[in-house]
Amino acid sequence: MTASEIDDESESGTDGGARIGFGIDIGGTGMKAAPVDLATGELAGDRYRIDTPQPADPAAMAVVVEQLVQHFDWTGPVGVAFPTVVRNGIVRSAANIDDAWIGVDAAGVFGAATGGPVHVLNDADAAGVAEMRFGTGRGRGGVVIVLTFGTGIGSGFFVDGHLAPNSELGHLEVDGVDAELRAAASARGRDNLSWEQWADRVQRYLTEVVKLFSPELIIVGGGASKKPDKWLPYIDVGVEIEVASMANSAGIVGAALMAPTSVA
């Protein structure tokens, strides 16, 4: 499924057929969920958060997913944004979760916990889907890259609105170093950098991204996007750069959009 293939008449929730979906956004420290109005991208209820269990292994996280779903009395399809590479529901990497996840059918694990169909996708991909459907990327064609600058650098890669999943552009090697080690938002505090010094690193990273992929637009999100005036004025890579607009709800909204369509 792509971001442009969400069928406007096929999603349903516990409210008897209204276009409400359900998304879960899983991070290294918290697991958040909410119902989502699929027509507007707005949350249809207050976001509910539970700390990510430690260790963050499949059994422990399945319990939390079940609790999140039960909190909202949700019985329909579920989308899950997961901080890993996910191919056909199978986890292929583990950064902020337990290594026990690698090779596991996450869609199957969470489906058993929720009692319904589940689609699992990379968390940055989910945020990108939300931005392309309702946010800064809406209506934009060509190559659009959504980058989230936080603990690491997440990426969502889109061509004419279609998601190319698991791009992992934060792991590009730049000057012999994994890019996110130097240019993630976390590097600014860790290395005691001023905003301008950190922006120099981001500029170097984005220069490589532009050289390799020639995007029409780069959308920047994550924690650093809350203070764009502190660093974006120092960035010029010859490509339009805009700030993400979906904020903390992006992962939940994107996950809900990509949930399996319900069966009548």
pLDDT (tens digit per residue) in 27-59 = 888 999 999 999 999 999 999 999 999 999 999
**pLDDT value at residue 97:** 82
**Fold match between 3-125+250-257 and 139-245?**
yes
pLDDT at 12 over 80: no
The neighbouring-strand residues paired with 177 are 174
Q: What is the rounded distance in angstroms from the CA atom of residue 116 to the CA atom of residue 156?
A: 27
Mean pLDDT of 11-26: 70
Q: How many Cα atoms within 13 Å fall on the side-chain side of residue 62?
A: 17
Of 3.40.50.10490, 3.10.20.90, 3.40.50.720, 3.30.420.40, the CATH number of 3-125+250-257 is 3.30.420.40
User: What 3 state SS string does 58-85 have?
Assistant: HHHHHHHHHHHHHHCCCCCCEEEEECCC
User: Out of 5-19, 37-51, 120-134, 231-245, which region has the weakest mean confidence (pLDDT)?
Assistant: 5-19
Contacts of 141 (CB under 8 A, 6+ apart): 160, 161, 216
Q: What is the rounded distance in angstroms from the CA atom of residue 186 to the CA atom of residue 224?
A: 9
Read off the amino acid at residue 152.
G
| Nearest partner of 127 among 248, 259, 6, 260, judged by Cα | 248
pLDDT at 201 over 80: yes
3-state secondary structure of 191: coil
Are the C-beta atoms of residues 147 and 220 closer than 8 Å to each other?
yes
User: What pTM value is reported for the model?
Assistant: 0.90
% of the chain at pLDDT higher than 90: 86
The model's pLDDT over 157-175, given as tens digits with 9 standing for 90+, comes to 999 999 999 999 999 999 9
What would the CATH number be for the domain defined by 139-245?
A: 3.30.420.40
Two tokens, residue 78? 């579920």
18 pLDDT band, cuts 50/70/90, is low
90-91 and 86-87 beta bridge pairing: antiparallel
Other CB atoms within 10 A of residue 9 CB = 8
> Which residue ranges make up each domain of the chain?
3-125+250-257, 139-245
pLDDT at 195 over 80: yes
